[in-house]
């Protein structure tokens, strides 16, 4: 018996007899409020526990000799698809043809609606000139000499008439797809460099009339992960009564995204600065949109993690216990207040 009594003395939650308990309306109101508060806090705490958070780590990039995918989706509202070309150059100076490339050109009418498509099966990577990305000078010079050698044929005349009609109809072009390039510094650009200088001069009557206004719907260097922000998405550069060359200097940061399920997504994020060079009467270059990219030697690893279960239990006990204690104090204060207010009325009833 002594042992049982000693154990009972340790009870921190003694029970009163049922007939000694008094239930009140104020206590019921406080109890309902307390239950609602505890249920709400429990829901938010559970959602907080189930939500993952990310941890960023940096290390030296050890990847070499891989392919860099460039996802492009750009609209040129003032240039027909027949005059636009996509060229890619890397800093190694290699001349590569038949790249593994999937690029489409969508013809757009004056209202921006698609009227036709063209598939670019071959993307020719041109020879890189040392210290100069503007290779179009020699390109146009060679084309000009070739034109004098072979003459102006019917195909060129048909091409000029077709493009002039498209310009009169205010046709545009959307270029989209994926460029697979070597994982080294380089650039790709979209321009009218695919035309020889004689045909381009006949169509536009000078470089100042080549309107390279563009809207970048999407530009990325790999698949997207949760929370990624591509700074050029949604960028619009519209030129009015002028022309020039846009250059976007891009710094690519190799990135690995590790999901909570242990799946790994290799991709890239980037930062960008922008420069615009207006065309003057003395310039021999033709307007274009350049994307010059370089790779960072540092790779970023982003890991999804979840908070520990013990941390969840600790916070849950604190929330529920604190709410229970607070509602208990509130119930006692309300009971004493109501008792103090009704006590004089009871006393006056006997007089």
Calpha distance 346→351 (Å, rounded): 10
When mean pLDDT is compared across 136-145, 174-183, 319-328, the lowest value belongs to 136-145
Is the confidence at residue 115, as pLDDT, over 50?
A: yes
pLDDT of residue 98: 35
Q: Is 72 exposed, middle or buried (0-12, 13-18, 19+ CB in 10 A)?
A: buried
- Calculate what percentage of the chain has a pLDDT beyond 90: 28
Q: For 146-157, how does the pLDDT look when each residue is reduced to its tens digit (9 = 90+)?
A: 444 444 577 778
Q: Residue 319: which pLDDT band, with cuts at 50, 70 and 90?
A: confident
Q: Residue 104: which pLDDT band, with cuts at 50, 70 and 90?
A: confident
Is the confidence at residue 118, as pLDDT, over 60?
A: yes
Among 210, 279, 204, 219, which Cα is nearest to 250's?
A: 219
Calpha distance 78→287 (Å, rounded): 13
């Amino acid at each position: 018996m002594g042992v049982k009594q000693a154990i009972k003395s340790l009870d921190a939650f003694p029970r009163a007899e049922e007939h000694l308990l008094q239930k009140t309306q104020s206590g019921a109101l406080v109890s309902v409020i307390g239950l609602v508060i505890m249920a709400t806090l429990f829901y938010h705490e559970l959602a907080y526990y189930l939500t993952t958070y990310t941890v960023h780590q940096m290390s030296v990039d050890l990847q070499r000799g891989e392919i860099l995918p460039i996802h492009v989706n750009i609209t040129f509202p003032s240039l027909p698809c027949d005059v636009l070309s996509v060229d890619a150059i890397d800093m190694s100076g290699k001349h590569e043809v038949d790249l593994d490339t999937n690029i489409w050109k969508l013809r757009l009418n004056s209202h921006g609606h698609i009227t036709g498509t063209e598939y670019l099966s071959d993307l020719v990577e041109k020879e890189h000139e040392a210290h100069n990305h503007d290779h179009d000078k020699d390109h146009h010079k060679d084309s000009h000499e070739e034109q004098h050698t072979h003459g102006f044929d019917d195909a060129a005349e048909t091409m000029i008439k077709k493009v002039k009609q498209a310009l009169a109809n205010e046709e545009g072009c959307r270029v989209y797809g994926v460029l697979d390039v070597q994982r080294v510094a380089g650039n790709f650009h979209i321009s009218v460099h695919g035309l020889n200088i004689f045909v381009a001069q006949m169509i536009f009557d000078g470089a100042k009339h080549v309107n390279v206004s563009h809207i970048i719907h999407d530009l990325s260097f790999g698949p997207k992960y949760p929370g990624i922000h591509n700074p050029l998405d949604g960028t619009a550069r519209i030129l009015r009564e002028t022309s020039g060359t846009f250059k976007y200097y891009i710094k690519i940061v190799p990135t690995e995204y590790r999901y909570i399920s242990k799946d790994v997504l290799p991709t890239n994020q980037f930062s960008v600065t922008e420069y615009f060079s207006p065309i003057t009467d003395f310039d021999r270059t033709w307007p274009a949109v350049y994307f010059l990219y370089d790779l960072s030697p540092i790779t970023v690893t982003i890991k999804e993690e979840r908070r520990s279960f013990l941390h969840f239990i600790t916070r849950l006990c604190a929330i529920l216990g604190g709410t229970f204690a607070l509602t208990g104090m509130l119930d006692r204060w309300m009971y004493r207040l109501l008792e103090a207010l009704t006590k004089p009325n009871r006393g006056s009833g006997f007089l």
